Amino acid sequence: MKFAQIALALVAATVALGDAVSLSGDCKKEFQKYAECGDTKAAKYDDFVKIYESEKCQTYYKDPIAALKKCDDLDQDTKDKLIADVKFSQAYNILHTARDENGKSCPLYNSKHDIAKVKDTCGSAKCVSSSIEAYKLFAEGKKLNKNKETTIEKFNSILKELEACGGAAAAGAANAATDAANAAAGAAANATDAAAAAAGAAANATANAAGAAANATQTALNNTANNVANATNVEQANASGAESIKYTVALLVATLYLLL
């Protein structure tokens, strides 16, 4: 598949949208008010992004017939062709403004290579998403205007390849997210275990401190009791000694009295 043909057709559709369908009078004038929305060559990249993302252009691309009120009386075939051209313009804008994760243009933008460029696109989730959006619009436009040179089969073939690699990229992202979630859960579990261990250590320290305090209190009580007991014993011993002395003196006095 030669993407050069696609790119040239898109450029032609973008630069001269009014030439694709027969517009005249007020309808043509109103149509020209939105020319800047698809003119990627008239402004620098950053400026065009602002133009394309403006409310005016987004409203136009969302529902061109509603935006082009002066064109409401067109016959249905002409309306379909006009809508088709607007879809082609929007699709090309998407590829023009899309950037990969490194800020570079996506492989399918103005590509002159074959379907290998789709495979190159698979390396960027952003480019895959933007390219899928663009080629859906290409296919929708082709259904409305069968006179377009590029066949709908080509658009659908590219879209199929993009969706295939998009699914693989989504699966990879999902796996990465799952791995990250598991890692976070493991870290949380380890943190919980560490917190539990710290709490256990704190509880043991508190219990040991309480035990030590209780032992100290008991020791103090025992020492106090022993001191009191010793003091009592001393007092009792002293009292007993005094009584013995008194008794001995009394016996001595009695003996002397008998001898006299």
Specify the pLDDT at position 172.
Answer: 46
Q: What is the per-residue pLDDT across 20-42, written as a single tens digit (0 to 9) for each?
A: 577 888 999 999 999 999 999 98
Which tokens go with 208? 């040991």
DSSP state of 104: P
CB-CB contact of 109 with 98 (8 Å): yes
What angle is formed at CA 24 by the lines to CA 18 and CA 29, rounded to 5 degrees? Answer: 70
Q: What is the per-residue pLDDT across 135-193, written as a single tens digit (0 to 9) for each?
A: 999 999 999 887 666 678 888 888 999 999 876 555 444 444 545 555 555 555 565 56
Residue the block writes with tokens 């403006």: 54
CB-CB contact of 134 with 94 (8 Å): yes
Which tokens go with 6? 């696609």
Q: What is the pTM of this model?
A: 0.58
Q: Which one, of 138, 133, 132, 136, lies nearest residue 150 by Cα?
A: 138
Measured in whole angstroms, how far is the alpha carbon of residue 211 from the centre of its chain?
A: 51
- Per-domain boundaries in the chain: 103-179
In sequence order, what are the residues at sequence separation of 6 or more whose Cβ sits closer than 8 angstroms to the Cβ of residue 242? none
